[in-house]
Every structure is written in structure tokens, then in C-alpha cells.
Structure 1
């Protein structure tokens, strides 16, 4: 009995399997948009041989010190097809803007965060369905198996409904237009009647317009904008510098005649040969590097509260103004560079800063800072130390002033320079000596070439 029952079970299972196979292989009927029917096989509902599972792309690792950022902008939207390494989103951090690129080519199927949201490293950002762009599909769109025809049908129904509603609305309009000319002829006689009312309305308008004119206030509009992460970080660091460093500023005046003559003599040749403009920043950078050799404390920093770190190299931080705030990219090993090389490095870093393409490596470190407020017209100023550095040199605008030269009064181009230093590291004698050395090098550029 058991053997017979088992044989029946096996036979039943086999017939059921054959039925399923026949059902799969059997053609089904699909309706076209015009109402006609045609037979299609189940395999025709898939345009590809494999179905891809969407991949979840996460917020990338940005730097050791950065754990979160603000999702500033989506460059793509749901349904867009992206190529490998194509930018999908931009995340703003307190130091740089980070681009999130597609790990592979595919179609974006879901965005998991909105613009201005705070996103953390490793969090889910968007879903991407791997695959090449479908042939014949519109740019930014994608086909997804058999779901697309249903969406198209729904869109067609909505479009037809809109057309019908528009036609119904437009039908009664011609009747109103045809009935308009008849009352115009009948009402042509009493038309001048409202003339006295117009006069009354004019007098009333004068009275009403006179009242608000007397009490109309000026514009009192207010606009509130959330601070971006870079500005918040700048504010935090500057306040930290004020609270931690014993800041003190010393000033001096520099006669720029010799340096301006040197620049005007060689700037065209340097521009033609090296493709870079010769400015004053390179001269001050070179003069600062030489002065730092004599006053190494100005190139040092405090570590751990009780340790001084002296450096044999100069990583020069150069302040650059950008739309988002002031940044300080670093010229590495500036002590071994000449005027032209320094100008090239500063020009390259400045361009990257304005284009928003600075990396963390471009701004990390820095042992001494130069800030040139003179390009904006500043005459005096006390720059703030960029911790953990010990000092910052501030350049200002060049103005003609009467000065005494060899017992005679002459008009010379004068720049006021300021050195803000951390009094915990530098005494007044060292800070003043540093600034005097910079003054001597700038007023006699040959000394920089001779390293006197």
C-alpha cells in the first residue's frame, strides 16, 4: 500500500510541474494602447537577461577629523542614469566640499536624504541600480522591467482626461462671445453716464493716496541665512585663538620703493617666461622665511601645554578670500623656494580655493601665516593667530607718505606691516627683531638673494 501511495504522489507532482511549465511557456494576451490584442510570451516582458538589485551608496569617508557634513546639493535626480565616477551629490564640511561620485554606472532609483540635511560618514545616501543606459530611453530616464508600460498607460489616461476637461470648458465660451455684441449696441447710449463718478473717484484717490504717503515707513526687511559649516568653523577657531593665545601686535613701516622698482623691471620678462605675475607676496614670503631662520621661535608651536616644537622647515600658510570665507592653503617647504616658484604655488592654490577644489592636504599643517589685507585697501589691522602657530604677518595697502631720507623730506610708497604673535612663545624683543628683519629685506631685496 505504501509503495502505491508513493507512486501516486510522485505522479501528481510530475503532472503539477508539467502544468506550471506549460503555464509559463503558454502565450499571454497583451492589450495595445489602441485596443488591439496580440500574443506575447512571458520572456518578452524583460529587456535583459538578468535583474539587478539596487546598490546602496553611503556617505564616503572624508577625513579622520570629519565625521559629518551638510548635503548641499543633489546633482542628479531619481531616474537619471549616471556613469562611473560621475558626481551625484556635494557634501559641505567645515573645511572643504566633498563630491560623492557613483561607484559604477547605473540608474538612481531612490534618494535617501534631502538637501541641507546633516549626513554622517557611513550613512545611506542613495540607491543605484547598476547597468548601462537603455537604448532609446530618454536622457536621465531608465526602463525597469514591466513596470514602465503601466506608468505610461496611467500617464496617457491622465492626458486624455485633461484634454476632455479642456474641451468641455472651451465649448460654452463661443456662446458668450456671440451674445456680447448685441448688448453693446443697446448700452451705447447710457455709456457717458459714469463720467461724473470718475471725477469723484479721482478726488477720492488723491485723498487716499495722500494719507499713506505721509506715514509710509522705509524698508525694514530682514533676511536670515544659516551659517555654512566653513563659516562656523572659522568662527570657532578664531574665538579659540583669542581665548588660548596671549596675542600681542607690533607694527612697522616699510619703504616699498626698491621692491616696486625690482618688480616693474622684471615682471614682463617673468610673465613671458614663466607665465606668472610677479607680486609682492613672494618677496614677503621669502623675507619671512629668512627671518624665521634667525627667530626660530616664530616658527614654533606649543604642544600638550608644556612642550615647544621647533621646526627646520617653513610650511607657509597664505590667507585666501573665497565666497564661503577665508581659507589658508599651505605652501610646503617655502624656505627652499625663490620668488617665481613661490608665486606659482600661491597662484595655483588661490585658483583651487576660488574654484572650491582645495583638499584637506592643501590646508593641513602650516607653521607661519601671511595675510594680505592690502589688496582690499586695508591701511592698518591686527591679524589673528592661526593656532597652533606662533605668529601671523599682516600686509596692508601701499600709500605715498612724506618720510625723512638722509635728512630730507621725500615722498615714498609706504606699507604698514603688523606682526601678531603669541606672547607665551615670543618675547617683545624677538617679535620686533623679526619684523625689523623683514623690513630690511624688503627695502633692500639684494639681501634676500645674497642671504645677508
Structure 2
């Protein structure tokens, strides 16, 4: 009986172990090729370990919440086992339901003698209303996932290491909204993707990063050196069933608006399908966080180390603004830039954020490169 042993797969650079968080195919389960047998969670992402061949899983080397290392035996599968009939495990048949009495039998039964009417019972006394009890005060504990533990550690490291400072700027979204409204149908027809606002913020941030190189750099604490990059890799948050993940748009200086929108859409689909790879989220020189999609009006984002800055977008709201001496309603958004003050001084931080705001308020600047 050929029984193959499958080891814990390589899950990315610097990832040496994972935690078993789900066993969709316990021992005795017949699986087809590419069915998920075990789900592992690492510091960054969940990994589905799939069957390379069809067969019956005979053994799992570990239980829920066990930590396994890359290269260790994970499960065994009998590839000579035949698939169960009907493609599903045998299920116990439900006991037959009791037969209802036939109409004929009911009709043949003699009629029951009429019983004398029962005396009316005395009405019970009206009880006073019961006072409302105190609501439940129970507590529950849930073990932190490896990903959440890693996020907690990295955020605390950022707080302890970087001298974080946040500066704010408001931007008039009117021109960008008008541009999108005017060309969105033509853009989608030609490019095959919808035109959103994120592509404009990615391109505006990229241009500003090239103007202020310190924002795109970082401090190497071990060598005590400042590292400057001549490329822009921007991390953006997308939703997944397990929470937000932050894939990276590579070389955004070479990307068009359509390239940005298509790449974000591709990452969004991979996140929804649970196919996000560690390589998709590795690196990044700058991050854009859009709390506005959840209704956030203002906030102070936390740097994603070893990056030196992060841009926070927020909700667009109609507010009264003075334009040419007249108070008019305008669609306004607050932008927040958190940066590492050890590397970036206030002048650079404010200039960088103002540059982004100017490009968003007047999108023609993006086309002219000014």
C-alpha cells in the first residue's frame, strides 16, 4: 500500500514555522488532487496545504494549534485507496418515521363517552411583575492568531523605535471627482477596469516621493546608515476573509493609472480567494491606508517598519469653504502623514504632504509632472 508522506512546505523567505489552524481533511477522509488537507498560519499569511494526489488521508502529524516547522512531516496519504461510492462518505440512514394511523382505523374506533364538563378553576391571583434581572457578565478568551501576534509586535516595535510625528492637510476633492465622473465610462471601456481614487493617490504619492527622497528611505539601525531608494514600492491595504492585508505595488513610478487599478483589483481578488502569497506583501517603501472607506474622518496612522512614513486617507465630506471670498460647499478630505522624525524633519514632512494635496486638488499636475 503506497503511503506518501507530505512535508510542511516552504512558505516564504524567513518563515521557518507555522501553526495548524484548521484540518479540513482529518484521517480517514478521501481527498481529490488540490483539495485542502491542512491550513497553516504564519506571522504574515495563512497557507493552504493541498493534496498533490488523490487518496485517503491516513495520518496528520499534529493537532490544532500545534507549531510545525518547514520540512517536518505534516500528513500521510494512501494514494492507492479508491474513492468512496457516490464521492462522499457513508452516512447513517435516518430511522424510518413512525407511520400515521390510517383513516379506516380511526373510523372503526368506538366513539368515546361524553365526559361531564369540568368545574371552572378559580383564577390565580395576579402576581406582581418580576424585576428585570442583570444582563450577562460573562467573559470569553480567544487565543491570538500568529498573524495578530506578529502585528502587535511590529506595531509596538514601531512605537518604541521610531520618533513618530503626524501632520495633517485638507484637500479639495472636487476636481478629481469631476475628472473621474467625466471619464470613468470611457476609461472602463478602454482599460477594462473601473477608475477609482486610489490610483490618483498612488501616483501623487509616487511623484512626491521622488521630490522628497528622505520619505522613501529608512534608517538601518544596525549599521547606523540611511538607505535611500531610487524606486517606489507602495503598500496598499485590501480586504480579505481573514482581515486586511497589505500587498505591494512594485515600481509605481513606471505604472499608469490603469496599471495601478488593475494591480489593486488583482490583489483584491487574490485576497478574497485566499491566494495571497508572502511575496505579494514583502517589501514596500511607503504605505497608503484608506480609513475613509470605513467612515473615518481623521486619524493618525502607525508606520509600518522599516518604512519611514505612511499616508492616511479619510472620508470625503461636504464642508463650507471660502473660495474667492465666497463661502461655498466643497467635498473635502483630511490627509494625515505619520513619519519618522529621526530621518524626516518637519519641513520635509509638511512639504511632502502639501505636494500630494496639491496634485489631488489639481490632477493636471500629475499629467504635467509638476
TM-score tier by shorter-chain length is: 0.7 to 0.9
Q: Which residue does 1:19 correspond to in 2? A: none
Name the stretch that deviates more: 323-332 or 358-367. 323-332
Please state whether the residue corresponding to 1:214 is helix, strand or coil. coil
- Answer yes or no: is 1:109 the counterpart of 2:35: no
What is the CA–CA distance in structure 1 between the aligned matches of 2:241 and 2:144, rounded to whole Å? 13
The secondary structure found in structure 1 opposite 2:143 is: coil
Give every structure 1 segment of 4 or more consecutive aligned residues whose post-TM-superposition deviation is greater than 4 Å.
188-191
Q: TM-score, normalised by structure 2?
A: 0.87
Mapped to 1, the partners of 2:350 and 2:41 lie a distance apart of 41
Distance 1:256 1:346 in 2: 21
- Aligned pair 1:307/2:225, yes or no? yes
Q: 2:241, 2:271 within 8 Å by CA — same for their partners in 1?
A: no
Change (3 A) 1:308 1:426: same
Write the mapping of 1:207-356 to structure 2, written as runs, cut at 5 A: 207=127, 210=128, 213-305=130-222, 306-356=224-274
CA RMSD, aligned part only? Answer: 2.7
Q: How does 1:374-389 map to 2 (within 5 A)?
A: 374-389=292-307
Q: Give the superposition deviation at 1:420.
A: 0.4
Q: Distance in 1 between matches of 2:361 and 2:6?
A: 58
Q: Can you give the 5+ residue segments of structure 2 that lack an aligned partner in the other structure?
A: 99-108
Bigger mean CA offset, 223-232 vs 94-103: 223-232
Give the direction of change, closer, same or farther, for the CA distance of 1:326–1:237 in structure 2 (3 Å limit): farther
What is the CA deviation profile of residues 5-61 of structure 1, one whole-angstrom value per residue up to 9, with x for unaligned ones? xxxxxxxxxxxxxxxxxxxxxxxxxxxxxxxxxxxxxxxxxxxxxxx2423322222
Q: 1:54 to 1:442 in 2, by over 3 A?
A: same
Q: Which has the larger radius of gyration?
A: 1
Deviates more, 1:263-272 or 1:93-102: 93-102
Equivalent in the alignment of 2:363: 445
* TM-superposition CA deviations, 1:198-222 (whole Å, max 9, x none): x47xx37x53xx46x2152223343
Deviations 1:395-420 (A, max 9, x none): 11111122222233222111110100
Shift of 1:272: 1.8
Whole-Å Cα distance in 2 between the matches of residues 75 and 293 of structure 1? Answer: 48
Question: Is residue 2:281 matched to residue 1:363?
Answer: yes
Change (3 A) 1:361 1:300: same
1:127 aligns with 2:81: no
**Counterparts of 2:7 and 2:209 in 1: how far apart (Å)?**
46
Contact 1:246–1:423 (8 Å) recurs in 2:
yes
8 Å Cα contact 1:249-1:420 kept in structure 2: yes
Secondary structure, in 3 states, of the residue corresponding to 2:52?
coil
Alpha-carbon distance between aligned partners in 1 of 2:157 and 2:308, rounded to the nearest angstrom: 14
Task: Identify unmatched segments of 5+ residues in structure 1.
Answer: 1-51, 143-154, 164-169, 171-180
Separation (CA, whole Å) in 2 of partners of 1:125 and 1:250: 49
Any conservation in 2 of the 1:71–1:92 contact (CA below 8 Å)? yes
How many correspondences in the alignment?
Answer: 355
Alpha-carbon distance in structure 2 between the residues aligned to 1:413 and 1:104: 56
| 1:357-436 paired onto structure 2 within 5 Å | 357-436=275-354
CA deviation digits over 1:151-209, x for unaligned, max 9?
xxxx9xxx9xxx9xxxxxx9xxxxxxxxxx99x97xx879837x54xx47xx37x53xx
2:87 maps to 1:139: yes
Deviation per CA, 1:100-139: give whole Å up to 9, x if none: 12233332222333333333333332221222626x7453
User: Is structure 2 residue 60 aligned with structure 1 residue 100?
Assistant: no
Counterpart Cα distance in 1 of 2:318 and 2:324:
18
Q: TM-score, normalised by structure 1?
A: 0.72
Match of 1:145 in 2: none
Larger relative helix fraction: 1
> What's the secondary structure of 1:403's corresponding residue?
strand
Shift of 1:284: 0.9
1:300-355 deviation per Cα after TM superposition (whole angstroms, max 9, x unaligned): 01113411110110000002243433321000001111111111111111222233
